Amino acid sequence: MPVIHNPILRGFNPDPSILRVGDDYYIATSTFEFHPAVRLHHSRDLVHWTTIGHALDAGFDLRGIPDSGGVWAPSLSYADGRFWLAYSVVRTMDGDDKDIDNYLVTAPSIHGPWSAPVHLGSRGFDFSFFHDPDGTHWIVGVQWDQRPEHPSFSGLVVEQYLADGQRTTGDAIRVYREEGLVEGPNLYRVGEWYHLLIAAGGTGWNHGITIARSRNLLGPYERDAREAVLTTRDDPGHPLQKAGHGELVQAPDGQWWLVHLASRPTLHLGERYSTLGRETCLQRVVFDDDGWLRLADGGHHASVDVVIGGEGEDAASGPRGWTDDFSAGALDRTRWSTLRAALPASTADLDARPGWLRLRGGHSAASVFDQSMILTRVEEHRASFDVLLDAEPRTPREAAGPIAWYDRSGWIQLQLTHDDENGRHLRVVRRDGSTTTRSGPIAAPDGPLRLRLSLDGPGLRFAWARADSEEWMPVPGVHPAWTLSDDHGPRLRFTGLFFGVRADDLDGRGWTADIGRVAVRFDPDVDG
């Protein structure tokens, strides 16, 4: 029997929204400040998943938004012969204040074209659509309260959406509230009951999923007597931590499935760090004799392996990887992401030198506007990233090289640069919070170089080699990859670890670096 190996979407793929249309399953995941936005995945059997693209790509621009802002918690649904996608854009998240815009786009196919966005207001976030069997459409979401003396999460609200007028009624009704944090709501009609699936406890170690129900859409809703349908908050050694924020889907055979996020932490000095970010998992669920949602295998802990039944093959579980020689006419957007906006052809040039990507240097790593960097998600705690780099920096303000990236306040890079004292050289540069540190210089020979980044649990190493040599020269030191996680430092952080390559031209004189073959490898057999 085929087995689902969780996570089904590995690496940074949080806030999953699942949908079945016919025999096809789709999942949309959050992308925050990364571009393109709203990652889309497809499966026919719930076991094997493929990233098929993004809903928000051409022309979508998030420049200026903060780290861990941007596109939160997409909600994918299907009604009236069209795909519906609701999403929030978080533009400000300072203290008690959040400036949030909620939108709806629709499309005749999951591949688009997606419509112009309809603004759904700015009341809160985590909005999802519920299409009632009676033909009405509703949105349910979190209502935010900016007043410092009031709970920020002021409850879950429901509001009718008038499809003919492409607007909401403007009247939101609070249907649920409790003392703790509740978010990520989704409504379902099963029999005579409306079930309200809720993410509770915040998206950290205390995360979980609970449920409430009512015979009336607008309540009142009765909360499940159990603490949680799904959580691992009471088992800090469980391999799937932070389990929560989920959605339901029913298979053609009548079985119900729960998609949810979770994290696989790595350990540093006994502390847990979710460097890979929040990932997507899948569990089989049932409604018990009293009509309450339960995990099919009992209890409330997420399962790593779930037997699906029937015929078919398991998903591959050994080492895997991919290469990019930049011979295609465009970047593979299912693998490569950028920050906040697409890189124009003048910045990411695939034509100037066939078989190479020419990056025109951009702003510093602190910029929320025009960084010149391509990034790919890290999917396992043991991974490597090799890049062929041909660049001739002339000043300390010109630099290029591979990078382990979390956000503008958390990254570690092996830079090829130049200064008067050391000439052409390599050095490791690290940003942690507001502090930047640099290693000593390593003399670099002329010509193209191969540069390597290697992750082993909480540690990160670098190496270099001549382009025509197989002899790798290690760069001294093990660098703290564990700082590149949600769990390091006092800031709210919601994304995950990326590998990438960037070019900086802080004088803005048009300096470029050529990127040759990139090779990525992941080894899932090593425990983080």
Residue ranges with strand state E in 215-329: 222-223, 230-231, 241-250, 256-263, 266-268, 271-273, 279-287, 293-295, 305-307, 320-324
Contact 85, 73 (CB under 8 A): no
Least confident segment among 118-127, 339-348, 369-378? 118-127
Tell me the pLDDT band of 525, cut-offs 50, 70 and 90. Answer: low
Domain ranges of the chain: 14-249, 320-522
Map residue 163 onto helix, strand or coil.
helix
Buried b (16+ CB within 10 A) or exposed e, 61-75: ebeebbbbbbbbbbb
What pLDDT, on a 0 to 100 scale, did the predictor assign at position 528? 40
Q: What is the pLDDT of residues 180-192, one digit of tens each?
A: 889 999 999 999 9
Q: What is the pLDDT of residues 117-146, one digit of tens each?
A: 999 998 889 999 999 999 999 999 999 888
Does residue 213 register a pLDDT over 60?
A: yes
For residue 171, the tally of other CB atoms under 10 A from its CB is 9
Does residue 490 register a pLDDT over 60?
A: yes
Contact 200, 224 (CB under 8 A): no
> CATH 2.115.10.20: does it fit domain 14-249?
yes
Contact 162, 186 (CB under 8 A): no
Mean pLDDT, range 188-216, rounded to an integer? 97
Buried b (16+ CB within 10 A) or exposed e, 426-453: bbbbbbbeeeeeebebbebeeeebbbbb
Contact 204, 242 (CB under 8 A): yes
Map residue 347 onto helix, strand or coil.
coil
**Residues annotated as catalytic (active site), given as ranges:** 15, 183
> 525 or 442: whose pLDDT is higher?
442
Least confident segment among 21-30, 91-100, 249-258, 276-285? 91-100
Residue 454 has phi, psi (to 5 degrees) of -125, 130
Burial (CB count within 10 angstroms: exposed 0-12, middle 13-18, buried 19+), residue 520: buried
Q: Which two tokens stand for residue 522?
A: 């992941």
Contact 464, 473 (CB under 8 A): yes
CATH code for the structural domain at 320-522: 2.60.120.200
Q: What is the pLDDT of residues 305-321, one digit of tens each?
A: 999 977 788 777 789 99
| Closest-CA residue to 465 (of 447, 440, 438) | 447
What is the bridge-based pairing of β-strands 37-43 and 50-56? antiparallel
What pLDDT, on a 0 to 100 scale, did the predictor assign at position 405? 99
What's the first-to-final CA gap in the chain, in angstroms?
Answer: 28
What pLDDT, on a 0 to 100 scale, did the predictor assign at position 316? 74
Contact 333, 476 (CB under 8 A): no
Name 117's Cβ contacts closer than 8 Å, sequence gap at least 6.
Answer: 103, 104, 105
Element (H, E) at 373: strand 373-377
DSSP string, 64-78: TPPTT-EEEEEEEEE
Q: Which two tokens stand for residue 62?
A: 């998030």
Q: Which two tokens stand for residue 8?
A: 């089904």
What is the pLDDT of the chain when averaged over all its residues?
Answer: 96
Does residue 527 register a pLDDT over 70?
A: no
- C-alpha 185/C-alpha 140 separation (Å) is 7
Beta pairing partners, 312: none
What pLDDT, on a 0 to 100 scale, did the predictor assign at position 10? 98
Tell me the pLDDT band of 29, cut-offs 50, 70 and 90. Answer: very high
Give the type of residue at 360. R
Residue 481 has phi, psi (to 5 degrees) of -60, -25
Q: What is the pLDDT of residues 390-417, one digit of tens each?
A: 999 999 999 999 999 999 999 999 999 9
Mean pLDDT, range 462-490, rounded to an integer? 97
Contact 497, 382 (CB under 8 A): no
The answer to whether the bond into 36 is cis (omega within 30° of 0) is yes
| Closest-CA residue to 503 (of 333, 310, 343, 372) | 372
What pLDDT, on a 0 to 100 scale, did the predictor assign at position 494? 96
Q: Which two tokens stand for residue 258?
A: 């729960």
What pLDDT, on a 0 to 100 scale, did the predictor assign at position 339? 98
| Closest-CA residue to 385 (of 338, 445, 321) | 321
| Closest-CA residue to 86 (of 44, 121, 36) | 121
